[in-house]
């Protein structure tokens, strides 16, 4: 039995669910209340954060590792770019920049009241540096590294979505037209709408 402890709106859990669904792995998804985390999840991972994957006695509690585990089972569109070492390095670099740098700016922009040292627009401008980079990568192609999604697209999308949704009107009038189209294609895809269906707690 493969079980994923998840929280619907968490971008880390989102990207794990997308990879699992894409790979076709049969998984039991347990929707967690962050205010009352289930004891069985905490017994598996003392970190107390989602996502947590329990598979055959093994526990994987990092979203990126869960994605890679899922793609190792089945990767029909070659999201891992397994014959392209340069592409793999680029994927790793983009994900690291997203997780280590962009996520910090996203948190401060989204919860600006917790960071009164600077105005909200300051944090948004800091995050925009990454948005501009992604928009430029999309010039002349549908996805960040080519004509089909890679691990980078799917790992980054939930965070770009969260940034865009802080002020949708602002995002809609930015010059990042390619990035807007890229995000919209994901949001309308069967893969995304499938993983965003509400689960009972």
pLDDT digits (tens, 9 = 90+) for 161-182: 999 999 999 999 999 999 999 9
37 and 48 Cβ atoms separated by less than 8 Å:
yes
Choices 1.10.10.10, 1.20.1050.10, 1.10.1060.10, 3.30.43.10: CATH for 85-190: 1.20.1050.10
pLDDT of residue 1: 84
Residue 52 belongs to what H/E stretch?
Answer: strand 52-55
From residue 155, give the alpha-carbon distance in Å to each of 2, 73, 98, 106, 150: 21, 17, 9, 15, 9
Choices 3.40.30.10, 3.40.50.12280, 3.40.50.10800, 3.40.50.300: CATH for 2-76: 3.40.30.10
- pLDDT band with cut points at 50, 70 and 90 for residue 201: low
pLDDT of residue 99: 98
157 and 183 Cβ atoms separated by less than 8 Å:
yes
Q: Do domains 2-76 and 85-190 have the same CATH topology?
A: no
- pLDDT band with cut points at 50, 70 and 90 for residue 183: very high
Average pLDDT of the residues in 37-54? 92
Residue 164 belongs to what H/E stretch?
Answer: helix 151-166
105 and 131 Cβ atoms separated by less than 8 Å:
no
């Amino acid at each position: 039995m493969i079980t994923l402890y998840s929280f619907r709106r968490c971008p880390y859990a989102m990207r794990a669910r997308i990879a699992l669904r894409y790979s076709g792995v049969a998984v039991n998804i347990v929707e967690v209340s962050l205010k009352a985390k289930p004891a069985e999840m905490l017994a598996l991972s003392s970190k107390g954060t989602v996502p947590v994957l329990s598979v055959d006695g093994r526990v994987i509690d990092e979203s990126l590792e869960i994605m890679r585990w899922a793609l190792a089972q089945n990767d029909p569109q070659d999201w891992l770019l397994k014959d392209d070492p340069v592409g793999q390095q680029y994927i790793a670099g983009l994900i690291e920049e997203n997780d280590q740098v962009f996520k910090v700016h996203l948190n401060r922009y989204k919860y600006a009241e917790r960071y009164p040292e600077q105005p909200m627009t300051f944090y948004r401008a800091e995050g925009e540096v990454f948005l501009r980079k992604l928009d430029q990568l999309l010039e002349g192609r549908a996805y960040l590294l080519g004509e089909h999604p890679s691990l980078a697209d799917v790992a980054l999308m939930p965070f770009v979505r969260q940034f865009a949704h802080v002020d949708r009107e602002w995002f809609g009038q930015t010059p990042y037209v390619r990035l807007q189209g890229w995000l919209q294609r994901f949001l309308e895809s069967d893969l995304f709408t499938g993983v965003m269906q509400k689960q009972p707690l």
